[in-house]
Amino acid sequence: MPKKTVKDLELKGKKVLVRADFNVPMKDGKISNDNRIQAALPTIKYVLEQGGKAIVFSHLGRVKTEEDKAGLSLAPVAERLGELLNKNVKFVAQTRGEELESAVDGLSEGEVLMFENTRFEDVDGKKESKNDPELGKYWASLGDVFVNDAFGTAHRAHASNVGIASNVESAAGFLVEKEINFIGGAVDEPKRPFVAILGGAKVSDKIGVIENLLSKADKVLIGGGMTYTFYKALGKGIGSSLLEEDKVSLAKELIEKAGDKLVLPVDSVVASEFSNDVETEVVEGDVPEGKMGLDVGPKTVELFAKELEGAKTVVWNGPMGVFEMSNFAKGTSDICEVLAKLDDATTIIGGGDSATAAQQLGFEDDFSHISTGGGASLEYLEGKELPGIAAISDK
C-alpha cells in the first residue's frame, strides 16, 4: 500500500491521535449496536500494546444547534469502549480547551482518553465539517502522530481527518487499510474475470459506479429497481415499475457503449402494489401494465450464476430487489448464495443497504469483505479519490 499504516509508525511513548468511526446507532441514550466500536478495537489495542498513549475521537450524528448536542455526547461510547478494552477510558466532555490539554499531558503509556463528539464544533460555524484549518491544526497539536481508522467518513474532508493529517505524520488504521486493500485492490488491480453486480433503487444514484465499473470489469450485471430504466431504453414494457424518465437516454448510451458486457435481468417478480401483502408472480421480459417489478426472477439468478462462474473478483453494490419485504428478498438472497459458493474468488460488498441485506439474510460470513462505509465505499467504487485517504502520509 502506498500509504503509511499504523505499523509504519513509531508509537512508544507517543501521544497517538486515533480517529475512529463511532457513529453508532443510539436509542434513548443507549448504544443499540456496538459493531463499530468492536471494529475499532484492533487498531486501538495495537497502539496501546506498542506503548502509545491513545487519544480517541469520532463524530456522532449530525449537530447543527446547541440543542442537538443533548443526545449526541460520546460519553456512553467511551464507557462501552472501556468495557470492551477492559480498561479505564478517561472521557473529556470537551472538543478543545485546558481540561482536554492537561488530560492529554497526564496520559501514561498504554492509557486511553476519549474526547467529545467532533461535530460539537459544527454549532459554531461548521468548523469540523468544513475542515476549518485552525481546528485541524489545534487537534493535530494535541498529539505526536495521527492514525485514521474512520473509513466511513473518508469521502469527506473534515477537520478530524483531513485537517489533522495535513499537520502531523499520519497513517491508516487496520480498518482503513483493509478497505483500501479490498475495494482499492478490486477496482485498480482485480484478478480476472472481474464481475460487478449493481442493483439498488435508482440509476441516478449509481451513474458514477456503473460508468467506472463498466470501464474496469469484464461483466456488469444489473438488477434492482434500476433495471426498468434500462428496460425502458430497450423499449420493453415496465408496467408501473420504478422509472427515471430523465435517465432513459443515458441508459440507452450505456447499453450501446457496453455491448454484451452489460447483462440485464430476463425475468422479474412482480406485484400490483409496493407491498408484501399482495399476490406476486414471475414474468419473463416485459412487465405487464398495472404491475411493478420488485425483484429479479429465478431465470435471472440462473443467468447471473452462469456469468459469475469462474469469477476471481466480484464487487456487489445494490440489492437485487426490495429485500426489506420477504416476498422480494429471494433474488438478493439467491445471489448471496451463488457468491458464497464461488471458489477462489474475492467477493466484496459495498453500499449501506447491500451490507444490511447480506447481514439480514444471513450471509455475513460468506463474503471476503463487507465494507463498513456506505457512502465512502460507493465513492471509492466510482473511482473517486477519497480525501480522508489521500491526506494520509505516503510511505
Site membership for Mg ion, residue 265 (CB under 5 A): no
Letter string b/e over residues 190-211, b meaning 16 or more CB atoms within 10 A of that residue's CB: beebbbbbbbbbbbebbbebbb
Site membership for ligand ADP, residue 297 (CB under 6 A): no
Find the catalytic residue in 14, 15, 19, 36: 36
Among Mg ion, ligand ADP, none, partner that 225 touches (CB below 5 to 8 angstroms by kind): ligand ADP
**Residue nearer to Mg ion on the CB measure, 267 or 353:** 353
Find the part of the chain contacting ligand ADP (CB under 6 A) among 154-162, 197-205, 212-220, 358-366.
197-205
Site membership for Mg ion, residue 225 (CB under 5 A): no
Is 60 annotated in a binding site? The answer is: yes
388 is catalytic: no
Site membership for ligand ADP, residue 318 (CB under 6 A): yes
Find the catalytic residue in 225, 352, 373, 374: 352
Distance from C-alpha of 53 to C-alpha of 145, rounded to nearest angstrom: 10
DSSP SS3 for 315: strand
Sheet of 369-370, strands arranged across: 262-263, 219-222, 194-198, 313-317, 346-349, 369-370
Distance from C-alpha of 30 to C-alpha of 32, rounded to nearest angstrom: 6
The residues in 204-243 that bind ligand ADP, with binding defined as CB under 6 A, are: 205, 224-225, 242
Reported as type and span, the H/E element at residue 251 is: helix 248-258
Task: Report which residue type is found at 240.
Answer: S
Is 250 annotated in a binding site? The answer is: no
Least separation, in Å, of the C-beta of 353 and Mg ion?
Answer: 4
Find the part of the chain contacting ligand ADP (CB under 6 A) among 93-101, 183-191, 301-309, 345-353.
345-353
**Residue nearer to ligand ADP on the CB measure, 91 or 151:** 151
Letter string b/e over residues 172-186, b meaning 16 or more CB atoms within 10 A of that residue's CB: bbbbbbbbbebbbbb
Site membership for Mg ion, residue 352 (CB under 5 A): yes
321 is catalytic: no
352 is catalytic: yes
Q: Are strands 15-19 and 53-57 parallel, antiparallel or unpaired?
A: parallel
191 is catalytic: no
C-alpha cell at 380: 471509492
The binding site for ATP consists of 206, 293, 324, 351-354
Would you please indicate which residues are annotated as catalytic (active-site) residues? 36, 202, 352, 375
